[in-house]
């Protein structure tokens, strides 16, 4: 048997998977504390992969902009500052 709470939980899990942050989920659910809203959040391998993909793309873009393939630490060491 499906209850209203089951639908609420599923709907907010879908919102979280779509990228809603904790504040947005709290607003959607009418919660005043993060603790109450956290009960609706669950991690998934797919979401972790999506996050990793975005971070990789952003890092690659930043490296492309600088024109260098070295990290800031590596560049500083070459200059003898670290």
Asked if residue 35 and residue 1 are part of one domain, the reply reads: yes
Q: Are 66 and 32 part of one and the same domain?
A: no
Tell me what pLDDT residue 23 has.
92
pTM of full prediction above 0.95: no
* Number of domains making up the chain: 2
Residues 62 and 38 in one domain: no
Model confidence pLDDT, tens digit, residues 32-78:
989 888 877 777 788 788 889 999 999 888 877 765 567 778 778 87
- pLDDT at position 54: 93
**What DSSP assignment string belongs to 18-43?**
TT--HHHHHHHHT-SSHHHHHTT---
Residues 69/74/78/82 CA torsion (nearest 10 deg): 160
3 pLDDT higher than 80:
yes
């Amino acid at each position: 048997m499906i209850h209203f709470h089951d639908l609420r939980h599923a709907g907010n899990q879908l919102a979280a998977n779509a990228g809603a942050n904790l504040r947005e989920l709290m607003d959607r659910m009418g919660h005043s504390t993060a603790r109450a809203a956290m009960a609706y959040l669950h991690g998934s391998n797919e979401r972790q992969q999506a996050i990793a993909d975005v971070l990789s793309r952003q890092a690659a873009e930043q490296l492309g902009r600088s024109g260098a393939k070295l990290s800031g630490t590596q560049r500083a060491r070459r200059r003898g500052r670290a």
